[in-house]
Amino acid sequence: MRKYVTLFGCTGCGKSSIANMLVQGDIYRNNNKFTIGHGAEGETVRVRSYFTEKYQVFDMVGLGEPSSHLVSHKKAAKTVRNYFSDHQLLLNYIFYVQRKGRISEEDVKMFKLFKETFKGGEKNFIIIITHSKPGWITDNLEIIRKNFGNYPIISVDFPLTDEDEDDIIASDKRKRVQSLQRLEDGLSELKYSAVELEVLSSTQIIEKKVSKIVSIIPIAGSLYQLIASGVYYKLGKPKHAKERLIDGIIGVTLDVIIVSF
């Protein structure tokens, strides 16, 4: 049965290499399914997906870049939210990809955005540390947990040399094969069931903020919540629809009590 995987993380953290290993079984200098960026500016600029019999992989827009680069943090986050809101996808594994090294404030902010974007899918979260081995994870487990929470962690290392020496090429190949096996073994052990997330689009997030303001207005606020509930049901977001319905019913009840007095 095909497993559905999404990758989320800063540009340059290794998302595209992971995606290629899952759908190709290896990575190459050229002609990869997912573009591997090595420059200062991120080359992953949109949500892209490829599938095999084993996996369908979604490579997220490059995140955490300066505004001068191809994709700003804000624009990238908006693209991710809108994509998952529109497609209503089932996901088995939700990867947060972090490159080995010191965890910065920007990394912590990015993880917070990751949690907000994929809220409701926490039980399927996995932290992937790239360019690392299991021993490094063990040595740094406390600091990783402190910043990213108590989620499963898998180390991967998919080197791709620019050298033409056969020994180096063969060594890198062995490392990639071993790392892919470790990744797939880790995923198999977790046995996550697929979840369908109710990711709100950017427009719906704005609407949600507006509703908090409108809800304090007697009668009109209650009617707004009830109408919004119906809209969310039509959009295929029953959890949010139920929340609005409950808020609307409570509001109507309070309105009746106030009017009675």
More confident residue, 71 or 25: 25
Per-residue HEC secondary structure of 195-208 comes to EECCCCCHHHHHHH
More confident residue, 222 or 12: 12
Do residue 230 and residue 182 come from a single domain?
no
Whether residue 219 has pLDDT greater than 60 = no
Provide CB contacts within 8 A for 103, sequence distance 6+: 143, 144, 147, 148
Question: Could you give the CA distance from residue 60 to residue 9 in angstroms, rounded to a whole number?
Answer: 8
More confident residue, 97 or 40: 97
The tokens describing 141, both together, are 């487990």
Do residue 211 and residue 253 come from a single domain?
yes
Nearest to 125 by CA among 155, 91, 82: 91
Query: What Cα–Cα distance (Å) separates residue 60 from each residue in 123, 146, 237, 258?
Result: 20, 25, 22, 49
Range of the domain at 75: 3-196
Q: Which of 196, 214, 241 is a domain's end point?
A: 196
What integer pLDDT is reported at residue 82 of this predicted model? 76
Q: 75: domain CATH number?
A: 3.40.50.300
Do residue 118 and residue 64 come from a single domain?
yes
Lowest pLDDT segment from 67-71, 106-110, 150-154:
67-71
3-state secondary structure of 129: strand
Domain count, the chain: 2
Do residue 221 and residue 122 come from a single domain?
no
Nearest to 229 by CA among 259, 199, 213, 207: 207
- pTM higher than 0.85 for the full model? no
The tokens describing 161, both together, are 């040399």
Question: Could you give the CA distance from residue 172 to residue 154 in angstroms, rounded to a whole number?
Answer: 19
Query: What Cα–Cα distance (Å) separates residue 224 from each residue in 13, 217, 227?
Result: 43, 10, 5
Q: Which of 196, 220, 243 is a domain's end point?
A: 196
Whether residue 102 has pLDDT greater than 50 = yes
Whether residue 36 has pLDDT greater than 60 = yes
Do residue 135 and residue 252 come from a single domain?
no
Question: Could you give the CA distance from residue 212 to residue 136 in angstroms, rounded to a whole number?
Answer: 45
Strands 48-51 and 55-59 come out as antiparallel
Do residue 210 and residue 81 come from a single domain?
no
**Model confidence pLDDT, tens digit, residues 42-53:** 444 578 899 999
Do residue 82 and residue 174 come from a single domain?
yes
